Amino acid sequence: MQDFQLLHDGLTLMGVGMGFVFVFLTVLVAGTTLMSLLVRRFSPAPAAASPAAGRSVEPARDDGGDAELMAVLSAAVHRYRRRHRR
């Protein structure tokens, strides 16, 4: 009879523990969802990004900058591999 009582107490304790964890996680998810909704609703709209006054905006380079970048990267990789041979 002692073994049956211990088994019953263990299962009861397991059920209470799992129930507590389930309720806690449910409240946590509900709270996080509610806070997310409140933040989205009451947060100010993001300011539009505008260039700073008095500074000129340079146009993107389209004169072969990619070829120069590839040459520099290739030289760096070659130098690294030459220095770190096994």
Query: What confidence tens digit (pLDDT) does each residue in 28-74 have?
Result: 999 999 999 999 998 887 777 766 665 555 555 556 678 899 999 99
What sign results for the dihedral spanned by CA atoms 58, 63, 69, 75? negative
What sign results for the dihedral spanned by CA atoms 55, 61, 67, 68? negative
| 11 against 65, higher pLDDT | 11
pLDDT at 44: 82
What are φ and ψ of residue 49, in 5° steps? -75, 120
pLDDT at 18: 98
| Whole-model pTM over 0.85 | no
pLDDT at 62: 59
DSSP 84: T
Contact 75, 67 (CB under 8 A): no
pLDDT at 47: 78
pLDDT at 15: 97
pLDDT at 29: 98
